[in-house]
Structure 1
Amino acid sequence: MALCGGVGALALPSELIVHIFSFLSDRDKLRASAVCSRWRECLFYPALWTDHKLRLVGTVNGGGSGPGETPKLEFLMRKFGSFVRELEVEFSPVEGFPSSMLGVESDGHDPQVPACLKDAMDCYLDQVLCVLRSLRNNRNLQRLSLYGAICILQGDGIFDSTHADQDHQAAKKIKEIQQLFEQVLANSRQLKWLACAFMLGMVTPRSLPALSSISAASLEHLSLLDGQSLPPLEGQTPPPLEEEEEDVEEEDLPSTGSQTPPLPLLRPEDLEKLPRLRSLVLDFCHFTAAMCQALSAEGRAPLLRLSLLLGGEAGLPEDPPGEDDWRALVRTSAELRVYLMALDSRSEDLLRVLKPSLPLERLHFDSYAACSAGALELVSLQYHKTLAQFSLVCDNGRFPDLSDNRNEDPLVLLAWRCTRLSLLVLHGYTVWAHNLIAISRLRGSSLKVLAVPEESIHIDPDQAQLMGEDPLHHLIKEVSLGLGRAWSPALDSTLLLHDPSQHFHREAQSFSMAV
């Protein structure tokens, strides 16, 4: 810039400096602010920072954003927290599972594992407090999205008897987080989008009733995921919380694996206060028949998107929506589309919730138990007009064959019947090459994503002998011809979901953004 370092830079009016900043990228804004103190004063003018996306990673093995980064977060939140309109924050205090993160087996015998995870938890709680303290008086907030990748911390039993005093301090911080979150909701005036996913202990049954009546009347998207119904990580059985002092209420502390059903974060009476709600994201355990009936009430805006996370049999509500409930909801919300992820569930669990009138558009079945051919048959018959995306993932390493002893492969039948299918992800199942070719030909160019890893593909040895070329090369050529574009087996697992809960959160967000 021509004025950099000169007297003219100091003499410019703040309005002109802000106008210059408005044409610059975020990185260039920071560079330009180094001109002089006057330019730095204008850097955080409210009109320049209306929306922010922050990702805060943890401290494992000395990496990440850790305690040393917390002062930077405090500086940023102090600058724009009171006026920012859209804020999206992802807290990832621990990335990956204990064995991969720490280089030790996650058997609980290494004394460094709890200490490292405890440090990550402390950092996470401090960062959440920092964000919420800055937001509590913000009346401009229109969109708030918070995601916490803390399932590993819950699964490792951070609140254990060996850290009783420190655990109590963490519990007190969680109590303050809950109160601050309620203050943020109570002081909001323009909130249209609220998403809170897997934030340890933040959301309680008292949270949503604290929402101001003005924001309740304008809220269009609501996402509340606590993950308490999800199965614990393999090999982890968290110990129960020890009783602490009187100022920490047990019902507000995060679940540690008890079989007691989690308290609903959203109740039918709460929905009655949200007349303009267009999209909703919930754990399936909180979505009861009464909730479905409340969404079907007359006088409210039609629901357009519904995303549900089913965590096995424990994730089923005592009174799930029946066929009549879904039919009534579709009658008042004709454009409704549903995204369902069944995580570590059985085919029986899936069959209990898949009612004919449920307008299913996206289905993701990710489990150690193989999906049955009968469940696939039901899906292809009931949702042939609505199903657009289907992901089938099995992590038991056995590669079950769904077409075994059947005249027609159920995946081929699904591709034939579901005419809107645009995404098909298959991982951990045996997929025969000739069936893969048939799927590509049936759906053609309308199948935008066909992701199958090479280890899942099996080639008939009799057919391989008749081919005059390499069988895999022949498969790639035929599938590419069927799809009308170049295709190859999936080489990595990024699309095949190493973190299903995070994938669900992000997919549900984009699914709701479509409206």
Structure 2
Amino acid sequence: MNLNQTAMSSLHEECSQPKRPRRPKKLKKPEKMTDATTSFWDKLPSVVLTEIYSFLDHKDRRSASYVCKHWREQYFHPRFWTSVEFVIESDNLERVRFLSYMFGTMAVQAKIVIHSLNKDCLKEFVILFDHLARNNNLKSLILEPSYCYFVGWDRDDWKEVMNLLNPCLPKLSKFSIGCVEDLSFFLEGILTNLNPSLITDLGLATVKDDPTNYVRNNFDPRLLSPFPKLEVLSIDYDQLSDELLAILDSATELRKLIVHLHAISEEHPGTTDEAWIKFRKKHPACQLSITIIHAFRDIDVLDQHVLRRHMPLTHLKVFFCEKVNIRVIENLSNYAETLRSIVWVDSLTDEQSSWALVKPFYDDSPDPFVLAAWLCKRLEEIVLFGYKYWEENLIAIGRLRGGKLKRLDIAEPDIVKRPGQDLASALLDIPNSIDKPWKPVQVSELHPVICNPVEGDSDEYLLPLVLADLH
């Protein structure tokens, strides 16, 4: 067989036999990609993720922290927790224990909100202070208890806390005892340990557990003389005197003075108009807030022994004194250039005392609240609970203050209308006058202790309000 025949035979065999399927060609596996060629979100460097977080607010950072463990860890970077609110509640102990451990030694601003009638909460309070005692960054320490006392604590318990607190005091620029009465026994030590060149805000006022029988713990007012940067100060009326007003001359930046009054001691010298005139010259922009708390016995002499014509009075708040002193309200027009707020709160009742502001038809003398609304140029808030009040006077207040009135609160059951009048229609005048929605406060919106004095503790209502005065 020649060569050509051989080739043809091979070709015939190749074409006649079935063709085997060709295996697919193996592809070369790609090399594993590295961080240099791609980005894994859960592998972002901490410094990069921290920088990203810096552009987010706290709420968005919290949402981003759910992505993965790494992102969650960066959520708790100290950079984002310079200001920490430690809420010590019975259902929050595990969380506050974690926050105490993480940030108690590094927070710059610490606010402690505590249920002061729960013993487990008090234990966590001491543990937190143990961390704060080792904090070299702390600049602000504010207490906000639920009540003016800590249940079951005596002087020795507070001494333990003070031993932990004392190392913190020289570094602080803001400090408040949270109106805790027992801490007033340590005020001289506190003032001695604070650094006068740093302090701007100082809350030393209290709320008394028994305002009819308490120990007056007056400190030497000269301890306040070296505080040149003081801007906000709260004290008890027991401490207020002409001497203190003169000492505050050195606080050239003082802008708010808050005074709590529970009772008026027979030995208290009071203050004079001459001292207030000098005070106003030194502090022309300073606001004076006077808060009267449970002063059952002395509310009748408030106008004689406490109020002075030349006080720079901006806020008058009266809580649970069980009566209204008409003379005090009538004298508020003396503060025409300064007064901004009138708050008079008692529990709702139908007793005769609740009708003190309702004048009979034949009495055509001006209503003291209406007079204040007319004369006080800066008046922007009136709160009246526990006293009956004519609807026509509410309408007059709305018309006189107009859009300058930010708040006008009165309980609906306390509004008195003329016979035959439709109250709802008459009150429509008020939102038109003040140019914002308005309606009387419904009973369902009131705190239980305002609806019924035995339904709760007045501290629950008033403490958040008086503590907010420091801000």
The TM-score, its normalising length taken from structure 2, stands at 0.79
Corresponding letter in the other structure for 2:343: S
Counterparts of 1:330 and 1:482 in 2: how far apart (Å)?
34
Contact 1:320–1:353, Cα closer than 8 Å, also in 2:
yes
List aligned pairs for 1:55-454, cutoff 5 A.
Answer: 55-58=87-90, 64-65=91-92, 69=93, 71-94=94-117, 120=118, 122-151=119-148, 159=152, 172-186=156-170, 188=171, 191-199=172-180, 201-202=182-183, 204-213=186-195, 216-228=196-208, 231=211, 257=213, 259=214, 261-264=215-218, 266-297=219-250, 300-313=251-264, 318-345=268-295, 346-380=299-333, 382-395=334-347, 397=349, 398=351, 399-405=354-360, 406-408=363-365, 409-454=367-412
Counterparts of 1:499 and 1:327 in 2: how far apart (Å)?
39
Q: Aligned pair in 2 of structure 1 residues 347, 200: CA closer, same or farther (>3 Å)?
A: closer
Counterparts of 1:172 and 1:25 in 2: how far apart (Å)?
42
Contact 1:422–1:448, Cα closer than 8 Å, also in 2:
yes
Who wins on radius of gyration, i.e. which is larger?
2
Counterparts of 1:34 and 1:460 in 2: how far apart (Å)?
60
Q: Aligned pair in 2 of structure 1 residues 343, 396: CA closer, same or farther (>3 Å)?
A: farther
Counterparts of 1:227 and 1:512 in 2: how far apart (Å)?
14
What is the CA distance between 1:44 and its match in structure 2? 3.1
Contact 1:230–1:311, Cα closer than 8 Å, also in 2:
no
CA deviations on 1:409-431 (whole Å, 9 max, x unpaired) are 22222222212211111111121
Counterparts of 2:173 and 2:449 in 1: how far apart (Å)?
32
Counterparts of 2:202 and 2:416 in 1: how far apart (Å)?
43
Q: Aligned pair in 2 of structure 1 residues 413, 358: CA closer, same or farther (>3 Å)?
A: same
Aligned length: 418
Counterparts of 1:22 and 1:206 in 2: how far apart (Å)?
42
Q: Aligned pair in 2 of structure 1 residues 472, 144: CA closer, same or farther (>3 Å)?
A: same
Contact 1:289–1:321, Cα closer than 8 Å, also in 2:
yes
**Alignment partner, residue 11 of structure 2:** none
Corresponding letter in the other structure for 1:483: I
Q: Aligned pair in 2 of structure 1 residues 206, 26: CA closer, same or farther (>3 Å)?
A: same
Aligned Cα root-mean-square deviation (Å):
3.1
Q: Secondary structure at the match of 1:197?
A: coil
What is the CA distance between 1:312 and its match in structure 2? 3.1
Counterparts of 2:272 and 2:55 in 1: how far apart (Å)?
54
Q: Aligned pair in 2 of structure 1 residues 34, 449: CA closer, same or farther (>3 Å)?
A: closer
Counterparts of 2:114 and 2:237 in 1: how far apart (Å)?
23
In structure 2, runs of 5+ residues without a counterpart are 1-34, 451-455
Counterparts of 2:210 and 2:202 in 1: how far apart (Å)?
20
Q: Aligned pair in 2 of structure 1 residues 378, 230: CA closer, same or farther (>3 Å)?
A: farther
Corresponding letter in the other structure for 1:144: L
Q: Aligned pair in 2 of structure 1 residues 145, 50: CA closer, same or farther (>3 Å)?
A: same
Counterparts of 1:501 and 1:357 in 2: how far apart (Å)?
31
Counterparts of 2:157 and 2:86 in 1: how far apart (Å)?
21
What is the CA distance between 1:26 and its match in structure 2? 4.2
Q: Secondary structure at the match of 1:342?
A: strand
Counterparts of 2:316 and 2:83 in 1: how far apart (Å)?
31
Contact 1:228–1:262, Cα closer than 8 Å, also in 2:
no
Counterparts of 1:124 and 1:198 in 2: how far apart (Å)?
18
Contact 1:372–1:402, Cα closer than 8 Å, also in 2:
no
Q: Aligned pair in 2 of structure 1 residues 82, 40: CA closer, same or farther (>3 Å)?
A: same
Q: Aligned pair in 2 of structure 1 residues 267, 124: CA closer, same or farther (>3 Å)?
A: farther
What is the CA distance between 1:387 and its match in structure 2? 0.8
Q: Does 1:458 align with 2:416?
A: yes
Contact 1:229–1:285, Cα closer than 8 Å, also in 2:
no
Contact 1:394–1:427, Cα closer than 8 Å, also in 2:
yes
CA deviations on 1:370-393 (whole Å, 9 max, x unpaired) are 22322211122x112211111122
Q: Secondary structure at the match of 1:275?
A: coil
Q: Secondary structure at the match of 2:439?
A: coil
Contact 2:303–2:327, Cα closer than 8 Å, also in 1:
no
Counterparts of 2:61 and 2:433 in 1: how far apart (Å)?
49
**Alignment partner, residue 54 of structure 1:** 86
Contact 2:143–2:176, Cα closer than 8 Å, also in 1:
yes
List aligned pairs for 1:494-513, cutoff 5 A.
Answer: 506-507=464-465, 511-513=469-471
Counterparts of 2:222 and 2:259 in 1: how far apart (Å)?
20
Q: Secondary structure at the match of 1:227?
A: coil
**Alignment partner, residue 236 of structure 1:** none
Q: Aligned pair in 2 of structure 1 residues 505, 317: CA closer, same or farther (>3 Å)?
A: farther
Counterparts of 2:68 and 2:430 in 1: how far apart (Å)?
60
Q: Aligned pair in 2 of structure 1 residues 493, 294: CA closer, same or farther (>3 Å)?
A: same
